[in-house]
Every structure is written in C-alpha cells, then in structure tokens.
Amino acid sequence: MSDSGAGTTDGTGPKTGVDAGTADRKSTGSDLAVHLDGITKRFPGVVANDDVDLRVERGTVHALLGENGAGKTTLMNVLYGLYEPEEGRVVVDGEDRSFGSPRDAIDAGIGMIHQHFMLVDPMTVAENIALGNEPTKWFGMAVDRERIDREIRDLCDRYGFDVDPDATIEDVSVGVQQRVEILKALFRGAEVLILDEPTAVLTPQEVEGLYEVLEELTDQGKTIIFITHKLEEATHAADAITVLRDGKSVGTVDPGGTSRKELAERMVGREVLLEAESEPAEAGDVVLSADDVTVRDARDIEVVSEIDLDVRAGEILGIAGVDGNGQAELVEAITGLETPDEGTITYDGTDITEWSRRQRIEQGMAYIPEDRHERGLVMPFDLVENGVLGSQRSPRFATSGRIDWPGVRDHTEEIIETYDVRPPDADADAQSLSGGNQQKFIVGREFERDPSLVVATHPTRGVDIGSTEFIHERLLDLRREGVAILLVSSNLEEVQALSDRLAVIYEGEFIDVTTPEDVTEEELGLLMAGQRPDQRDAAGSVGGDDR
C-alpha cells in the first residue's frame, strides 16, 4: 500500500488533506507541541526505532498506531526520558531538548500514563497524586495537605473528573485509577500527556468516559499522544494517526480520510481480515458442565449465583458482561484456582469440583487468564522457563522427575515463531516483553498443550490486529478439531463474531442465553447493563439441548 494516499503526510513535508471534510475534528495549524526528528533507538540485536519522524500539533489527540513490537512504546519512552536515542532530535515547544531522565521530561511539561498504573494501593487518591511532589508549609516543615486537596479539586472541576481525593486507590475502579494517573500528570504541570494503551483494562463504559476526558483536555489546550493497536479507538478519538511498522513510520493519516482496512494494511503490511468468519458449529458431547455453581468472595458476598452451563466439543460458548459481574470468579472455579461454595463442576463426565489446577491441566484443560502478570507468567523467568509452566511434570518434558530443558527450549522457540512473539529470544525475561507479546506467548503456550477444553479469558486483550486475527483463526481451528471452548470477553465484537452461543452475565447470574445472530450489539449492551429480555425466549440454562 502506498503512503501517498489521501490524508497522509510523508513525515517531512507539510500535511496534505488533514482534517479535510471532517468538521468534528479540531482544526490544525503549524504550532507543534512535539517534534521527534529522525529518532533511532537500538537495542542488542534489534533496531526498535529507525529514523522515525513524528509531528504532534498542540491541542490535538495524536494516535501512535502499530502492531506489538512496532516501536511505539520505545518512541514514547524516548520522549519521556526513559531512553536516550542514538540519533535524532527531541523538540518540545520549538526547543531542542535532551532528557536524561523522566524528571527532565516532567519539568519540560511531558507526562506519561503507563499501561500498568504506577499507584500505591493503600494510599488515598490525593496522596498518590502528590507523591514525590508535595507542596509544603512552615518553611518546609510539613506537607500542605489543604493546598493539595484544593489543587486536586480545582483540577477535577476544570476537567470534569468525578474523583474523590479521600478515596483509597484499592477501593476505586480501574477507570478511576486511570483518571488519578492523568490528574497526577496534570498536578505536575504536564502540557503533553502520553497514554500507553489507555483502553487495555477498561470496560466499554469506561472507554467512552476516557474519550470524553481526552476531548475536555484538548479543548483546554492540552496535547495527547496515545499508543494503541486498536483501529476503532484510533479512528474514533484521534485527530491524526501515525502508523509504525517494524520500527519505521509508514505515514501519518487523517482519520476522516482513511478506513480501518487501509490502516490495518499499513500496520501489518498485508491485507487483514478484520472480522472472523465462522461456519456453523457441529457440536458433540458435553465436555464441561457447571451445575448450580455458587461462589462467595472474601467478604462472604455471593458473586456467582447458581450458574448452570454446558460446553460441548466443537463449539464456542461466549460469556459477555461488564468486568466485575462474577465472570472472573466463575472462571476461577472452573479452572481450579478457587473451589465453589456450592455446586458441581464436571469435566468429561468426571466430577472435578475438588481437583487441583495441575490435575485439570493434565486432564486437558488449557487456560488463558485474565491477568497475564498474576496468573499467566512468572515475570522474572525467561520464556523457556515460562514455556513449561504447568507442564513441568508432563512426560513430554520430563523424564524420571528431570526436566528436558533442550526439549523445552525447542518447544518454546516453536511458540515464539508460530505466534510471532517479539523479540524472538527464548532467553528474554517475560518482564522485558511488551504486554501484547506477553499475551501472545501465553496464548501460544496454552493452545499448544493439545487441549480438549480451552477457557479463554480476554484472549486478545492488548494484542494487535494481525495477532488478533491469528488468535481468532486458531480458536476456530481448535473448534473445528472438536475442542470445547469457553470464551470470556468484554469485547462485544469478539464474542459476537466467535461464539456459537452467547450467555450474558450480570451480578453473578446469566440473565439471557442467545445466539449472536439473534441479538444486536445495542441489545447486548442493554443486557450487560442488567436489562432482562422482555419477549425473547431466554433459552433457560446454558445447556446445549436447546440448540
């Protein structure tokens, strides 16, 4: 695909076609808040950024779009002072800058909100916002808490944030935590805000709230750069989009002058299938059953209420719902991370309610967890060590109690190659990979267990469009091979495109069971918000007999 199409810039000359015919976009001018000029950043064995030029106009939202490993975060880490480039210039407000640390970037008005928030859970919102930058009184003898509270409330009023400064971080939602991170940057005087994968951990409702926040910030003159691999959020929220591929810029486009298909081709370098194509399932025998499963949390509150479900061989049962409605606890009961308080879980006709996680893996249950850091990987371990997790006692990888490390390495390298994990280094620590590449590695490890059941929780969260396409194809391949799949996702497009049957969970109960073709996205959203169906036959339990 050529970079000379409508609404593009070549990265060096004036913009052509930007904002043309898009009245709802902000008008642009020649006032650059940030200019990264010819940035090159190398790491051993890889050129992460290769002569990248990025021009960001003041008071706009600029999306940095690309696959996992394309160099997006590295480029922003250069702007934020975490990395020093080997070549190129960092220009902020028309002045050449050299940042030796994030402190230098913060002093220059640059703030960065990372994908994984840097907050202290037991502390209050106000304490987190002011941490390390507390104003003092009495000649520096005491922290001026009244001033902190006043300035935070002023910021909340100015930008329309509904945040309680006295709330404890561990007691507020993920969406509020993200606002706290933004407030923390604003409290330090940020004029340019970098958001790294800002919607990766948000519910659909929180995503819409974030868009409103970005609009309010830019209306008041702030400049936003956000890193993403999601086409829909780039086209929805950005005034301009720069696409990176393999560490290089492949052009800047006007969202109103391009299509998702064209953007996907720029990102990946080939034509991409944006929607999974699934033929009707040929479901077989029941593989997984849950009967009257009830789970209570640590406070003895019932978070899963008498749930019934069946998943058959060769079908995908999707569970849709806003995060926090019991799906996580249900999955933990199914996968053996927790024992249900009531009810029975059956796998291939055997009661496994009391089985350990290891027993379930050995039986053929693969699991893609919701939290890849807490449940999917040991972050300081290298990929070889992570590649054998859960299978270290399997005859495939161990003999007489000793792990066959050369065999594990070969297996790990196959996962890396097949699932395009970057960098392709089996000796790399899991913590050194981007979130999307961590996710691809987990998906590959679990899919390659030769499972009879896959429990996939947000399998493409944080994953780029090309890898999402591949993971969807692999799920459908496994389904065709007769594997039973339980898919839990807050991505409505994903569950609608892949599921044969769809259960909607709200406050720990399935309030409707339907097929994707029998429910619109709007109706699905209403169900997820707790509105029960009025006329549609809810199909009873989530069994397979009513298909």
At 234, which CATH number? Answer: 3.40.50.300
φ, ψ for residue 456, nearest 5 deg: -110, 110
Give the pLDDT of residue 109.
96
Q: What is the domain range of residue 195?
A: 1-109+191-272
CA angle 542–468–231, rounded 5-degree value: 110
Give the pLDDT of residue 107.
95
Instruction: Report if residue 228 sits inside a domain.
Output: yes
In b/e form, how buried is each residue of 442-474, taking b as 16+ CB within 10 angstroms? bbbbbbbbebbbbbbbbbbbbbbbbbbbbbbeb
Instruction: Report if residue 470 sits inside a domain.
Output: no
Give the pLDDT of residue 9.
40
| Residue 522 bridge partners (DSSP) | none
Instruction: Report if residue 475 sits inside a domain.
Output: no
Residue 225 has pLDDT above 70, yes or no: yes
Are 101 and 231 part of one and the same domain? Answer: yes
Give pLDDT tens digits for 314-344. Answer: 999 999 987 789 999 999 999 999 999 999 9
Are 196 and 60 part of one and the same domain? Answer: yes
Give the pLDDT of residue 470.
86
Token code pair at residue 99: 């940042």
Token code pair at residue 192: 């340019």
Give pLDDT tens digits for 15-61. Answer: 333 333 333 445 444 589 999 999 999 988 789 999 999 999 999 99
% of the chain at pLDDT higher than 90: 62
Instruction: Report if residue 473 sits inside a domain.
Output: no
Of 383, 379, 405, nearest to 392 (Cα)? 405
Residue 229 has pLDDT above 90, yes or no: no
Q: Identify the domain boundary among 272, 296, 313.
A: 272
Of 417, 520, 413, 453, nearest to 311 (Cα)? 453
Give pLDDT tens digits for 439-497. Answer: 999 999 999 999 999 999 999 887 778 888 888 989 999 999 999 999 998 778 889 99
Are 91 and 124 part of one and the same domain? Answer: no
Instruction: Report if residue 69 sits inside a domain.
Output: yes
Are 202 and 83 part of one and the same domain? Answer: yes
Enter the DSSP assignment of 374.
I
Mean pLDDT calculated for residue range 215-237: 92
Regarding predicted confidence, which is higher, 515 or 279? 515
Number of structural domains (the chain) is 4
Residue 69, phi-psi category: left (phi > 0), alpha (psi -120 to 50), beta (remainder): left
Of 505, 513, 523, 524, nearest to 547 (Cα)? 513
Give pLDDT tens digits for 84-137. Answer: 999 999 999 999 999 999 999 999 999 999 887 889 999 999 999 999 878 878
Q: What is the band of 12 on the pLDDT scale with cuts at 50, 70, 90? A: very low
Q: Identify the domain boundary among 170, 189, 208.
A: 189
Are 96 and 3 part of one and the same domain? Answer: yes
Q: What is the band of 159 on the pLDDT scale with cuts at 50, 70, 90? A: confident
Task: Give the Cα separation of 433 and 146 in Å (integer).
Answer: 42
Mean pLDDT calculated for residue range 146-150: 89
Of 249, 245, 259, nearest to 464 (Cα)? 245
**Three-state SS at 546:** coil
Give the pLDDT of residue 271.
79
Q: What is the band of 273 on the pLDDT scale with cuts at 50, 70, 90? A: low
% of the chain at pLDDT higher than 70: 90
Are 31 and 159 part of one and the same domain? Answer: no
Q: What is the band of 270 on the pLDDT scale with cuts at 50, 70, 90? A: confident
Instruction: Report if residue 464 sits inside a domain.
Output: no
Q: Is the peptide bond before 122 cis (omega within 30 degrees of 0)?
A: no
Q: What is the band of 6 on the pLDDT scale with cuts at 50, 70, 90? A: very low
| pTM higher than the cut 0.85 | no
Q: Identify the domain boundary among 272, 305, 323.
A: 272
Give the pLDDT of residue 18.
35
Give the pLDDT of residue 276.
65
Are 200 and 218 part of one and the same domain? Answer: yes
Are 195 and 105 part of one and the same domain? Answer: yes
Are 303 and 344 part of one and the same domain? Answer: yes
Of 504, 474, 483, nearest to 318 (Cα)? 504
Residue 460, phi-psi category: left (phi > 0), alpha (psi -120 to 50), beta (remainder): alpha
Give the pLDDT of residue 160.
84
Regarding predicted confidence, which is higher, 214 or 175? 214
Are 1 and 75 part of one and the same domain? Answer: yes
Are 311 and 180 part of one and the same domain? Answer: no
Instruction: Report if residue 114 sits inside a domain.
Output: no
Are 162 and 68 part of one and the same domain? Answer: no
Of 170, 240, 229, nearest to 17 (Cα)? 240
Instruction: Report if residue 334 sits inside a domain.
Output: yes
Task: Give the Cα separation of 197 and 461 in Å (integer).
Answer: 10
Q: Report the largest interatomic distance among the alpha carbons of the chain, rounded to a whole angstrom.
A: 76
Residue 60 CB neighbour total at 10 angstroms: 23
Give the pLDDT of residue 533.
78
